[in-house]
A = this chain, B = another copy of it.
Amino acid sequence: MEIPVVRNILEANDRIAEQLKALFTQHKILVLNLISSPGAGKTSLLERTLTDLKDEFTMAVIEGDCMTDNDARRVAATGAQAVQINTEGGCHLDSSMVLSALSSITLDGLDILFVENVGNLVCPVEFDVGEDAKIALLSVTEGDDKPEKYPLLFAESQVMLLNKVDLLPYVDFDVDVALRHAGRINKDIEMFQVSCRSGEGLDIWYDWLRKERSAKAQA
């Protein structure tokens, strides 16, 4: 008789992530894992997206934070289903946390599930939570060297949203440098310049969501 051995924490994570993927595919739910530094604008992006597309899609959010339920309250104010996971010091979400959170979400009829990860450019990238795509947010206040310094996130993401472009006049950030480095790390990454504060550029992000959601529904 073979005894199954869970080799390590990442293998255990991937096993549950596979179960999640099967569940999401069965329900035809597009699942996106949002990863960025603290304060790059993940929650603001969700507030905008949940509001602007509320008549098109049924959407839900799993919020990850070390502490507080601030973000879940912010996104719930848009009318979307929202669940908060507090990692209590943990630096990333993993698939078992997402699995637990699903008990508080109605999957029937759900079109898009956003997972807002803990603010961290490093650790969340290694933990698959059953998503269709990772979405990297980079804000222009963080510096144009971040794709080069934290390459794994940009290598693994399908989309990079360059946020806070309304602040470009006030900071030393070379957009070309950031885009060039991200494109060198990942030649397939799609890059959109947005401001979640002014709304600038969000239409392209919404078009991307429509396209991906449609593909998932037909899969």
Contact = CB atoms under 8 A, between A and B. Distances in A.
Interface of A: 37-40, 65-68, 70, 89-91, 118-123, 126, 139, 141-143, 145-146, 148-152, 164, 166-167, 170-172, 197
Given A66-B151, A70-B148, A151-B66, A39 B37 contact: yes
A39 B122 contact: no
Number of copies: 2
Nearest to A143: B39
Contact of A150 (B67, B145, B148): B67
B167 A38 contact: no
8 residue pairs, one from A and one from B, having the closest CB atoms: A39-B142, A141-B141, A91-B122, A39-B143, A37-B38, A37-B37, A91-B123, A68-B149
The dominant DSSP class at the A interface is loop
A81 B186 CA distance: 34
Contacts of A68: 145, 148-149
B149 A70 contact: yes
17 contacts: A38-B121, A38-B143, A38-B146, A38-B149, A38-B150, A39-B143, A40-B142, A65-B149, A66-B122, A66-B149, A67-B149, A67-B150, A70-B145, A70-B148, A91-B120, A119-B121, A141-B167
B148 A39 contact: no
A89 B152 contact: yes
Contact of A152 (B37, B66, B149, B197): B66
Given A66-B150, A141-B164, 19 more contacts: A37-B119, A39-B141, A39-B143, A66-B149, A66-B152, A67-B150, A68-B145, A68-B148, A68-B149, A70-B148, A89-B152, A91-B123, A119-B150, A120-B121, A122-B123, A141-B142, A166-B170, A167-B167, A167-B170
